Amino acid sequence: MRKQYRFRGSIAPSAEVKRPVRAEVVGTVEDGMAKLHLDDVIDSWGGFWGISAKEFNQALAELGDVDQIHLHINSPGGEVWEGVAILNALRRHPATVTAIVDGLAASAASFIAVGADRTVMGRNTQMMIHDAWGIGIGPAADMRDLADRLDKISNNIADMYATKAGGDLAGWRALMVTETWYDAEEAVAAGLADEVEGTAAVDDEIVANAFDLSVFKHQGRAKAPDPAPPAPEPEPAPPTASHDDSRKRRFRFRQRAAARR
């Protein structure tokens, strides 16, 4: 038995981006194994503008009773909370979820990928992680509040990477702040993915041209510096003697000296 469900996604953000006029999220079910495709911007508006959590949940519900889900990803990311909602929908699903990066898993798409039960990088694919972005209008107090909230959101995202790959939040935040790009092998070496598989044999130029990456600091892995490993947690500093401890040592020394006299 084979079912197919289609949910429309967005057009390319600029005429130069080499993509179909309309993208689709396609879900199929066969012999207890489902395939879902997340092949667009993650956007709360959905429909013409991208893939919303509401649309993704609808597609997930339509799959019915399945044992395994293969989620194929080719997305530049998008809104954080829509991505978190999509990830939690997958976490709650009883099926075993394997995320397969077919082209690009950047920004919000990256933490959806690493949050699956298993993460597979197709050959020549890329993954990118970065700090959360936000737009604010108002006085200085509002800007400071926005910065604090962005830090909390970014720490929340860093926790997802740390849960998958190990390390601490500070180390992952440092990599996010610099906007770190990984090729398939580098993502596995960093612990963000479990294996490289030949599920999507596309070259680096195709990956780079799949989406408009001009909004990011680096437009693809080829233009980004080599990823650094997460910084290890600092060793705790040895305890220093307090003023009271020093006085106690001097007192004991005098006691021993007096006993010897």
Q: Which residues are catalytic?
A: 107, 130
Q: How many Cβ atoms from other residues are within 10 Å of residue 208's Cβ?
A: 17
3-state secondary structure of 182: strand
Angstrom CA distances, 40 to 6, 28, 209, 214, stand at 13, 17, 14, 16
Residue pair 162/168 in contact by the 8 Å Cβ criterion: yes
Helix (H) or strand (E) holding 55: helix 53-62
Q: Which of 18, 14, 38, 16 is nearest to 26 (CA)?
A: 38
What would the DSSP string read from start to end of 124-180?
Answer: T-EEEE--------S-HHHHHHHHHHHHHHHHHHHHHHHHHH-S-HHHHHHHHHT-E
The span from the CA of 241 to the CA of 111, in Å, is: 45
3-state secondary structure of 71: strand
Query: 233 phi and psi, to 5 degrees?
Result: -65, 135
Q: Which tokens in the block code for residue 77?
A: 């990311």
